[in-house]
Amino acid sequence: MANLKEVKERINSVVSTQQITKAMKMVAAAKLRRAQDKITQMRPYSQKLTGILNNVTASSEGETDVIYAQKREVTRVLLVPVTSDKGLCGAFNSNVLKATKALLAEYATLDVHIMPLGKKAYDAFRRGPHTVIDTFYTVFSDVSFENVNRAASFAMESFVNENFDKVIIVYNQFKNVATQEVMAEQFLPMEQLASEDTKAVETDYILEPSREYIIEELVPAALKIQFFKTVLESNASEHGARMTAMDKATENAGELLKDLRLMYNRSRQAAITNEILEIVAGANALESK
């Protein structure tokens, strides 16, 4: 049987761990509600803006010369993996890193740069062979449009200046508390912007001052909104993943406590039985004399 003192120490250790995981679950749940509210409010605006842009573009005669949609031979690629700053959120970060490494293998013959968003992505790639743009990896210290907009503007300006021929964002899309889907979306060159409102009907618009001016203003705005929406999706996914992981860790700690307490009781009973046997044996020895 295990030593009673050792088992008692393990029980106390597991109880302390369980208290920590419970607290982390509650904190993650509170943060998730706020993050979920943000992404829920952002999605309708993003979908409506995207739908308007797609309708305006589709209603024109011929193709519009949009600088962000220019396709050229791909020799330089920018990958934007979006992770969290902290761990203890299950496979949330490892799934993004795995998908990013798969893209690195796919573009092994090209000049690939990495612009990590989140400390976990930065730590994973900063010592690698690829050039890492370390300007924006602390974006989750302040998840605001102004802060995220700087990263989006850098990617867009780099594409326009032909520093990169393709920009791909790798992130977790928020489905629900227990489900996050890893996505690798082409940010630039843009095609028809993705919109969940697939049933949108083409509408005739009166465009002032001109159609070209409207598109020049709408396209960058829509791209930045898409980029911000991606960061909000990842932020909500992180808290959902952490809440689920901490809930599972708390359950596992409870199961381990049951086993340890059973072991402790058995060891204690065995010790008591041995003491009784020793007392009886001593008494019998005295009687025999």
Grouping H, G, I as helix, E, B as strand and the rest as coil, residue 59 is coil
Tokens representing 98 are 């795995």
* Catalytic residue chosen out of the listed positions 24, 89, 112, 168: 89
Let me know: does 44 contact 199? Beta carbons within 8 Å. no
Question: CA distances (Å), 179 to each of 66, 78, 97, 182, 251, in order?
Answer: 36, 27, 17, 10, 19
Task: Scan for tokens 């010592």, then name that residue.
Answer: 127
Among the listed residues 199, 215, 198, 250, the one whose alpha carbon sits nearest the alpha carbon of residue 88: 250
CA 8 to chain centre: 38
Cis preceding-peptide flag for 189 (omega within 30 of 0): yes
Q: What share of the chain is helix, strand, coil (3-state, %, to 5)?
A: 60, 10, 25
Per residue in 184-208, is it b (16+ CB within 10 Å) or e — as a string? beebbbbeebebeeeebeeeeeeee
Tokens representing 237 are 């996914």
Residue 97 catalytic? no
Per residue in 239-268, is it b (16+ CB within 10 Å) or e — as a string? bbbbbbbbbebbeebeeebeebeebbeebe
Give the Cα separation of 30 and 32 in Å (integer): 5
Residue 267 identity (one-letter amino acid):
S
Catalytic residue numbers read 89
